């Protein structure tokens, strides 16, 4: 068996409020942004601050908060789509910076909104195979560096941040069975086209999509309606698969912490899946969508405020860029 033993997170110091954002887009109002996406402010990484820097700070918070000795870590996983270098893996650099033993394994994996779930699944597999006993799972993203200054939609949604989680042979939340899935046919729906091996140099190309949004190859592009429809298609069957694999009925699940994409999407998912408000986590107000870190941030906040208690069964799920999705049950 594998368990979550500790969770912490770190948010960059600089905060961008809706009041500051709408000064750049006078056609919007503070109330409109808050109502549409559920975000009042978001944290932005500085020009010199990388995903690796955020992950390091989240890990150090974890070590301090739970009195964890870095020398007890025997594997490091880092989920990021904004790694410090093309190579080597940022996880390898973090192993050295954090004082984790050289006997530890370490690697990055490139996933977004489902990345936390995949990381927990990988960590559980490492424990089950007796490869590692104390896995440091890190999620860190600096998506705001990929956004065009005039992309008001995505700038209102995304924030930067990192989370750290220790997965071990004992802990406060037992990790259940998983449902995972992928549809790479939807890759174009959320993509940054240039900057990697397929097209390494910026090309300056711009076009207008069917929703009237400007699509820029050199910046992150998200087709909101495609991603929304994909989410509504996959979340209900994914939930049922998670319940089936964990031998549970929906009404015995005490709480649901899903990827915090935006308020409208989450509210629609909740209604479509027939979930009561008091059992469904929505809280993007002061963080925005931090991509792979939203679920761990949600779990930490819910533990801190007493919403999640010992004895509860909690479903966690992520979905988005890839296109990719995954879910599992945590038994506290």
Secondary structure (DSSP) of 122-165: HHHHHHHTTS-SEEEEEEEE-GGGGS-TT-HHHHHHB--EEEEE
% of the chain surpassing 90 pLDDT: 91
Question: What is the per-residue pLDDT for 208?
Answer: 87
Using the predicted structure, report yes or no on whether residue 210 has a pLDDT greater than 80. Answer: no
Question: What is the per-residue pLDDT for 261?
Answer: 95
129-157: average pLDDT: 95
Question: What is the per-residue pLDDT for 143?
Answer: 96
Q: In which residue are the tokens 């020009």 written? A: 47
Q: In which residue are the tokens 């097209």 written? A: 199
Provide the 8-state DSSP code for 158.
B
Q: C-alpha distances in angstroms, 208 versus 5, 195, 215? A: 47, 21, 6
Q: Say which CATH topology domain 3-171 has.
A: Peroxisomal Thiolase; Chain A, domain 1 (3.40.47)
Residues of the chain with CATH 3.40.47.10: 3-171, 179-331
How far is C-alpha 242 from the chain's CA centre?
19
Question: What is the per-residue pLDDT for 32?
Answer: 80
- Closest C-alpha among 313, 293, 320 to residue 234: 320
Domain 179-331 in this protein, CATH class: alpha beta
Provide the 8-state DSSP code for 48.
T
- Closest C-alpha among 18, 145, 151, 171 to residue 83: 145
How far is C-alpha 44 from the chain's CA centre?
15
pLDDT tens for 144-179 read: 999 999 998 899 999 999 999 999 999 999 999 999
Q: Is the pTM of this model over 0.85?
A: yes
- Token pair in block for residue 158: 């995304």
Q: Which neighbouring-strand residues pair with 168?
A: 3, 134
Q: At 235, is the pLDDT very low, low, confident or very high (cuts 50, 70, 90)?
A: very high
Q: In which residue are the tokens 């301090």 written? A: 64
């Amino acid at each position: 068996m594998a368990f979550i033993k500790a969770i912490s997170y770190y948010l960059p110091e600089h905060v961008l409020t809706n009041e500051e954002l709408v000064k750049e887009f006078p056609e919007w109002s503070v109330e409109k942004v808050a109502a549409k996406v559920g975000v009042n402010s978001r944290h932005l990484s500085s020009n010199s601050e990388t995903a690796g820097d955020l992950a390091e700070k989240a890990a150090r918070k974890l070590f301090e908060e739970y009195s964890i000795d870095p020398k007890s870590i025997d594997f490091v996983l880092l989920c990021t789509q904004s790694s410090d270098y093309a190579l080597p893996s940022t996880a390898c650099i973090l192993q050295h910076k954090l004082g984790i033993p050289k006997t530890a394994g370490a690697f990055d994996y490139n996933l977004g909104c489902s990345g936390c779930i995949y990381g927990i699944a990988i960590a559980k597999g490492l424990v089950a195979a007796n490869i590692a006993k104390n896995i440091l799972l890190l999620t860190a993203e600096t998506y705001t560096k990929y956004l065009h200054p005039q992309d008001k939609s995505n700038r209102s949604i995304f924030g930067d941040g990192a989370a750290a989680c220790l997965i071990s042979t004992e802990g406060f939340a037992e990790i259940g069975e998983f449902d995972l899935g992928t549809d790479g046919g939807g890759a174009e729906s959320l993509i940054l086209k240039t900057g990697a091996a397929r097209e390494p140099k910026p090309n300056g190309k711009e076009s207008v999509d069917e929703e009237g949004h400007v699509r820029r190859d050199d910046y992150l592009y998200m087709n909101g309606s495609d991603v929304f429809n994909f989410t509504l298609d996959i979340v209900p069957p994914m939930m049922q698969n998670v319940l089936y694999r964990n031998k549970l009925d929906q009404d015995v699940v005490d709480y649901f912490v899903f990827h915090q994409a935006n308020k409208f999407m989450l509210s629609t998912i909740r209604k479509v899946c027939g979930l009561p408000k008091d059992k469904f986590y929505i809280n993007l107000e002061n963080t925005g969508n931090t991509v792979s870190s939203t679920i761990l941030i949600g779990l930490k906040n819910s533990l801190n405020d007493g919403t999640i208690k010992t004895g509860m069964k909690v479903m966690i799920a992520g979905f988005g860029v890839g296109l990719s999705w995954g879910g599992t049950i945590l038994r506290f």
